[in-house]
Structure 1
Amino acid sequence: MKFFNALLYGALLFSEVSAAKKLTASQVEGDIKKSKLRKTLVDLNNIGKKHGGNRAFGLPGYKASVDYIYKELKKHKKYLDTHIQPFNYTFEQTRDIQVRGPDGEDVYVITLIYNVGTPAGGVTAPLALVPIDDTRGSGCFADQWEGVDAKDKLVLVKRGSCAISDKLKLAKKAGARGVLLVHNAPGEGITSATLSAENLELIVPVGVIPQEVGNAWRKRIEGGESLEVTLLVDSFYETRETWNIIAETKQGDPKNVVMMGAHLDSVQEGPGINDDGSGTAGILEIAKSFTKYTGYKNKVRFAWWGAEESGLAGSYFYGEQLTEKEADSIRFYFNYDMIGSPKPQYWVQASKPADRVGGDILAAWLRKKGKTVEWEEFGESSDYAAFIALGIPSSGIFTGADAETDPCYHLACDTIDNIHWDALTLNTKTAGRAAAQFALSLKGVPARDKTTPNPKNKRAIAARFELWQKKRTLASNSHKCNHKTKEVV
């Protein structure tokens, strides 16, 4: 009887495996439905609504987002191995920011992530000007500060061209008490940005003000007036735990992994439904599709990164934890950050020939569907950065984050109404096809022994985390302003 039962079990198992469909790129593409993408984004939007309007690192909306995605993945535990990767990072929040103009008027102002506080009550000081340089960027280089009387003043600097933190570091070296950053586009649709936790002790307080206000003040100063303004920033920082989610197919060779990722967190200003709910929903649907198929050689891994908006922290943490052997096994990484912008343009990211192996798959399918595709080289603005640093070939799709492509970028209006559904659906289908093709064959992808991680880059990642550890120590003595006094210079 035991022998008969074993035969019956074996026959049933063989029947189940035989009935499973063999993976093809077309089948994964066909599984991607606009309605399913919409459901995920509606759910993420509702999470934002229920948790203070955002899903940001260190706040309840992010934990709720992690719980939601993890629960969805665990429904497929028969086919996917899923785990949560915890890590600690420095959380910063601006509780209050104010600017009072030279005529006593309140001025519209926004803060930036990892802003530093002014003395309690703010800083009142004369305004100094950094000359506008639209070629190299204003205030980006030390020579642009030569001749600027910044000591003990607030400095008016135009936004753009280089990292804002670079401008603030130079302002501190020049003796400035703070910076009023003039937005580089008209109106009050001012987008936030991160100054990165590692810069907390290196920069001065900053407020971003409308272009029209900053230009008017500049004109008055250039006309001979002396203007005095007040900047108040009440911020605090502390160490908080956060999480990445990693899932991978049970099938496939663990020595040959195709990986894709999207960041799960939003900025504090809004629920982040395009940035990056779009990528989050997209790779979730691709992961679900892979649970239906068999017959592919290479393992497929999916990642939802934490604290991207705070400095790419989750993906860098993941990269820093990889052994050389584990890094070698990741043959290609795809990054999907903002793939549903309301007025989309289609950029495929790649810098090196190895990157183009995956990028060409994405670009070819988008072009086949009638889209104009432009190539974009990698910078350091999304979660591909850690993989590039490790020498892992990478690519991705990006549909834009400027005023033209996504007017709600990093704003409260990045809600369920801020998605181009056809673009999101097409980009997810394209991403699914690329993942399936690489799951079946990595032909043409350079072997890892030809793209060995640069030891210098590996050390740079480790050094970054050593610096972050120092910031976590600093954050344990949470910095706070009490607003009871005022300093005037």
Structure 2
Amino acid sequence: MTAAAVPPGKVLEHLEVFQAIANANNGNRASGTSGYRGSVDYVVGRLRAAGYAPRVQNFSFPFFQEVSPATVSAGGRQLAAEDVAVMTYSGSGTVTAPVQAVGTTGERAASTSGCEAGDFADFVPGNIALLQRGTCAFGVKAANAAAAGASAVLIFNTGLPGAEGAVAGTLGEPGVTTVPAVGLSYTAGVALLRGGEVTVSTQTVSESRETSNVLAETRSGDPERTVMVGAHLDSVPQGPGINDNASGSAGILAIAEMLAGTETANAVRFAWWGAEEFGLLGSRHYVADLKTNDPATLGNVALYLNFDMIGSPNHGRFVYDGDASAFGPDDGSVPAPAGSAVIEAAFHEHFGSLGLASGETEFSGRSDYGPFIAEGIASGGLFTGAEGIKTVEQAALFGGRAGIGYDFCYHASCDDLSNIDHRTLDEMTGAASAVILRFANSPLGLEEEGRRLLAAVAPVPAATVDQGHGPSNAAEARQPR
């Protein structure tokens, strides 16, 4: 069986259904919403039809949604949108009251402002508390302010290099405070130090909700050498999430359907993760549950393959940097366990066999491989780019336009069916299928398989490119061989 066994158009067929589900459910498929439940029902139905016995693993998580953008007005003028950012798990409401600075003079520094209850000794209940970022968690500052009777909380940035824009922070969990909590830029915060009346408005939903993972395993193959394959099924609340990450979910669903009824040497377990967009919560729950209740099953996972965003419209053809040749701790990369280099080499070899250039992306910790890496499980996968900016070098390697994002609809309402590059989606699904099948049918361990692979994909002259599911970094790009 080869990668060509994934029927043409099958992945797009799944994407069309995910789009229809979003359209019928307030435009999104976020965990904890009817759109996500519809997505779970679809995946479960397709798996059952293919002959699997899927399992739905439920768990609770802290849900948050900004219903409309937060606003702050002072002196009759509304602050610019770029100077204001709602705190995750902020309360909801509109408040007009005098603003009162607490423990800060606006010095460019990380401030202890609001970190102790004693900071509020002279605070007037009912006022809006103006605090500065630093020293302790945002949730601590907000909770202390609310306990002192603040009607709203404003936290402005430190003003240090790289920390001047609006604070986009989190209070940590629902219920820290019921009053509006908003981050401000350094400039906006300093301008409010003189006092006066301020209006703060937030419209949010902050509560505990239930969501789920979907798991399905092949009926054949050695369970002590399980190949695990995952993609997150949820979108952000702002949009339908067709590239992020219906693309990966649809890709592995098509591969699972293709593998159904096929004999494999090793067991293959597919996972569609919930609440990734709230902090990798689905994959974290799964790994933690196994670690506590079934450590033998966790120990039988030979490797984990992750597919998060595989159809970006201005794509790069990125493979996770398992051998740390392009990224290291200085770049913010998470160290990859032994065996990850073999997974990386398998993807590069596949692309090279088709005459396609491939680059590398760091293990930044921003997707569902994170909990597996933390347990020492070899990991890898594919990624076509998020909000990072494509360079001239990358445009020469992969096509597309330099100077703009890989996915200019990242985490936005326009991440719909029109936001997918079909050729890229086919190439990445083909690569995913080929590598999954390779490891599913390999009688060799990662070490033995790796010796041949790493020789076949010896390092080639590197082009310096920028990429990222986050800040841009230097990466290696492999020319087709």
Distance, in Å, in 2 between the alignment partners of 1:335 and 1:203 is: 37
Preserved CA contact (<8 Å) 2:166 2:183:
no
Does residue 299 of structure 1 match 2:267? yes
TM-superposed deviation, 1:416: 0.6
Does residue 331 of structure 1 match 2:302? yes
The residue number in structure 2 matching 1:249 is: 218
Distance, in Å, in 2 between the alignment partners of 1:311 and 1:196 is: 14
- Which residue identity lines up with residue 231 of structure 1 in the other structure? V
Distance, in Å, in 2 between the alignment partners of 1:367 and 1:130 is: 55
Distance, in Å, in 2 between the alignment partners of 1:45 and 1:165 is: 43
Q: RMSD over aligned Cα, in angstroms?
A: 3.8
The residue number in structure 2 matching 1:346 is: 317
Structure 1 alignment gaps of length 5 or more: 1-22, 133-142, 158-163, 183-189, 448-489
When residues 383 and 377 of structure 1 are mapped into structure 2, their CA distance, relative to the original with a 3 A threshold, is: closer
Q: Secondary structure at the match of 2:253?
A: helix
The residue number in structure 2 matching 1:259 is: 228
TM-superposed deviation, 1:275: 0.8
2:358 to 361, 364, 372: 372
- Which residue identity lines up with residue 50 of structure 1 in the other structure? A
Any residues of structure 2 matched to 1:212-291 within 5 Å, and which?
Answer: 217=188, 221=191, 229-291=198-260
The residue number in structure 2 matching 1:88 is: 60
Q: Secondary structure at the match of 1:57?
A: coil
- Which residue identity lines up with residue 324 of structure 1 in the other structure? P
Q: Deviations over 1:50-72 (max 9, x none)?
A: 10010111111111111111111
Preserved CA contact (<8 Å) 1:40 1:281:
yes
- Which residue identity lines up with residue 39 of structure 2 in the other structure? S
Matched residues, percent identical? 32
Distance, in Å, in 2 between the alignment partners of 1:225 and 1:121 is: 19
- Which residue identity lines up with residue 416 of structure 2 in the other structure? T
Distance, in Å, in 2 between the alignment partners of 1:337 and 1:269 is: 18
TM-superposed deviation, 1:316: 1.3
TM-superposed deviation, 1:298: 0.2
TM-superposed deviation, 1:258: 0.2
Preserved CA contact (<8 Å) 2:214 2:272:
yes
Preserved CA contact (<8 Å) 2:19 2:416:
yes
Preserved CA contact (<8 Å) 1:113 1:310:
no
Does residue 99 of structure 1 match 2:71? yes
Q: Deviations over 1:403-428 (max 9, x none)?
A: 61112111111111111222221111
2:26 to 52, 56, 71: 52
Distance, in Å, in 1 between the alignment partners of 2:261 and 2:107 is: 60
TM-superposed deviation, 1:100: 3.1
Q: Secondary structure at the match of 1:417?
A: helix
When residues 257 and 271 of structure 1 are mapped into structure 2, their CA distance, relative to the original with a 3 A threshold, is: same
TM-superposed deviation, 1:156: 7.6
Distance, in Å, in 2 between the alignment partners of 1:240 and 1:444 is: 41
The residue number in structure 1 matching 2:433 is: 432
Q: Deviations over 1:424-483 (max 9, x none)?
A: 211111111111111111634269xxxxxxxxxxxxxxxxxxxxxxxxxxxxxxxxxxxx
Q: Deviations over 1:84-120 (max 9, x none)?
A: 1122223334445531333424454786684221676
Q: How many residues align?
A: 388
Preserved CA contact (<8 Å) 2:337 2:373:
no
> More deviation in 196-205 or 341-350?
196-205
The residue number in structure 2 matching 1:35 is: 9
Q: What is the TM-score when the length of structure 1 is the normalising length?
A: 0.69
When residues 45 and 147 of structure 1 are mapped into structure 2, their CA distance, relative to the original with a 3 A threshold, is: closer
- Which residue identity lines up with residue 179 of structure 1 in the other structure? I
1:201 to 167, 176, 191: 176
Preserved CA contact (<8 Å) 2:90 2:182:
no
Distance, in Å, in 2 between the alignment partners of 1:179 and 1:55 is: 31
Does residue 311 of structure 1 match 2:313? no
Q: Secondary structure at the match of 1:319?
A: helix
- Which residue identity lines up with residue 88 of structure 1 in the other structure? S
Q: Which has the higher contact order (CA 8 A, sep 6+)?
A: 1
- Which residue identity lines up with residue 415 of structure 2 in the other structure? D
Preserved CA contact (<8 Å) 2:174 2:207:
no
Distance, in Å, in 1 between the alignment partners of 2:205 and 2:135 is: 18
| Higher percent of residues as helix | 1
The residue number in structure 2 matching 1:12 is: none
Preserved CA contact (<8 Å) 1:102 1:228:
yes
Does residue 414 of structure 1 match 2:415? yes
The residue number in structure 1 matching 2:111 is: 145
When residues 37 and 118 of structure 1 are mapped into structure 2, their CA distance, relative to the original with a 3 A threshold, is: closer
> More deviation in 388-397 or 80-89?
80-89
Distance, in Å, in 2 between the alignment partners of 1:168 and 1:348 is: 35
- Which residue identity lines up with residue 410 of structure 1 in the other structure? H
